[in-house]
Amino acid sequence: MEKRAMIEKMVRFYNNRAYTHNYMLAFNMGSSVMVVFANGDMLANVVTLDKASRGAGYSLRFKPTKAQKAYMMENCKFFELCTKADIENACATCKYNKGEIVEKFLTERYGQTWVKDNVAFTDDGDLTVDGIAYQIKYEKATFINEKQMERMA
């Protein structure tokens, strides 16, 4: 299957099962970490097809190129969350990864207490603000892989 067709197939599968189609997508822009508010219709334009680990086929990842970052900044509401150094410093002093730290920073930005959880993307978002549930993804995050799709089909 051609790469673009595979991306669209995986995005469609993900969107058909996702609890929410609202996203806070975080990425590095210079020394800053920017967050855009995106929706499910945009995913196919800002994700990458990658090789999943442990023989799980392809994975759909948020690894935006410069062009994809520019597209998001032009088409989405956005804000600066913190610096890359803030994330690196937080990771150095705890057991959480960069994606979890971004989730923590965003949760606290909205006046909520962050708790590490493993709620599936089909059951809830990562953060609810003003009654809207959002999935949070930081650079290199995986949305879904082919093995997960097989299990869920």
What local confidence, expressed as pLDDT, does residue 62 receive?
Answer: 97
DSSP codes of every residue in the chain: --HHHHHHHHHHHHHHH-S--EEEEEEEETTEEEEEEEEGGGHHHH-EEEEPSTT--EEEEE---HHHHHHHHHHSEEEEEEEHHHHHHHHHTSS--HHHHHHHHHHHHTT---------TTT--SEEETTEEEEEEETTEEEEEHHHHHHH-
What local confidence, expressed as pLDDT, does residue 52 receive?
Answer: 85
d(C-alpha 1, C-alpha 93), whole Å: 44
Asked if residue 1 has pLDDT above 90, the reply is no
CB 33 within 8 A of CB 87: yes
What local confidence, expressed as pLDDT, does residue 54 receive?
Answer: 83
How much is the average pLDDT of 34-50? 95
Asked if residue 101 has pLDDT above 80, the reply is yes
| pLDDT band at residue 4 using 50, 70 and 90 as cut-offs | very high
Looking from the CA of 68 toward its CB, the CA atoms found within 13 Å total 18
Q: What is the pLDDT of residues 49-83, one digit of tens each?
A: 998 888 889 999 999 999 999 999 999 999 999 99
d(C-alpha 7, C-alpha 33), whole Å: 25
Q: 0.75 exceeded by the pTM? A: yes
Angle at which helix 84-92 crosses helix 98-109, to 10 degrees, equals 110
What local confidence, expressed as pLDDT, does residue 126 receive?
Answer: 96
Alpha-carbon distances, residue 125 vs 66, 69, 71, 74, 122 (angstroms):
27, 23, 24, 25, 8
